[in-house]
Structure 1
């Protein structure tokens, strides 16, 4: 399970919220206003239940619905069973041609099975980091060019 997926599920509950800061997921009752009022803290870089610190007595309170707590525990179980490297979203890239002409960025599109130039990043082929690594492995002479052309695509751009 990816961290963003876990956050989305937990934050969709009526009485519990979660947030991530500095590699730690904090789970709070929604009615508590202070960030240090978490009832569960999960280290995102560790596996198993040893990654969890709980303070149910102090910060859980009567405001957390038992079904919401059950959902949180299910999500936490799936998260801590996911290998650490698989919890984080894989970076995505497009390939931008180096020599832009007329102040227009030129991106590479491979959707038709042939390399083509497009002017918008939204029209370019988006590659996962692992796909670019495989492309470099399959074409070692192109590896320096791929590294020079790759441009990270942030969340809402793809």
Structure 2
């Protein structure tokens, strides 16, 4: 009888832990429908660095509320920090993404058959949002709580 009680209590406890964890993940990244700011302009442009093969994307976001500080940007399966342009009116934030592949890691061995199938590492990360190529999610803090807002229709400029 003690074994049945133990198994029953263990099952209930495990279920509660798993349920609480699943609920936290879904609400942790909930998107806001009405943020305390308005997005005035959102655009993405390509940039090329000084070294051969170095390039990326620059995302610029302008908002109308100087009291809100945007801190992170999720865009095209990547995340980066946002930086506020000094003395910008309206408040303009810039996020930089490097899209060049860089140096690839390969298996190097005396036996060339062990090198078969070399492929570069994947640079994409799994972000907690499902967004299209012309959408982004910004994160910001309002007092002590973190919020997320999805920006649609980011303009591509040349």
Query: Relative contact order (C-alpha < 8 Å, sep 6+): which is higher?
Result: 2
More helix by share: 1
The TM-score, its normalising length taken from structure 2, stands at 0.24
- For the pair shown, which has the larger CA radius of gyration, 1 or 2? 2
